[in-house]
Amino acid sequence: MSLAIRLRDQSIALPAAILSISAWYDPELKNPTLKSNAATDKILSMPLVQFFRESWLGGTGVAYDDPRVNVLYADLAGLPPINIYYGRR
């Protein structure tokens, strides 16, 4: 998503479509399911997600709500069709 946004902003040809598989769209960790699923989630715990976030953004000076890393705040106008796949138990 971020690459397509940069391409659009630089008037470079965009892909025909975007397929996003199990993407992370909440680096602010605001989604209430992080807490409500804590007892049953076999893979992701809050400390592990915080570790991933720190490994990705720690020390970069990039805020968790920066549109470059959090598309929930990005302008998606003008992008090609987007298909988002995610898993659920």
At residue 88, the pLDDT reads 63
Beta-carbon neighbour count of residue 70 at 10 Å?
19
pLDDT digits (tens, 9 = 90+) for 19-55: 988 888 889 999 898 889 888 888 888 899 999 999 9
Instruction: Give the number of domains in the chain.
Output: 1
- The answer to whether residue 89 scores a pLDDT higher than 60 is no
Full domain range(s) for residue 26: 2-85
pLDDT digits (tens, 9 = 90+) for 62-78: 999 999 899 899 999 99
d(C-alpha 12, C-alpha 9), whole Å? 8
- Run of H or E residues at 35: helix 33-36
What sign does the CA torsion over 79, 58, 30, 46 have? positive
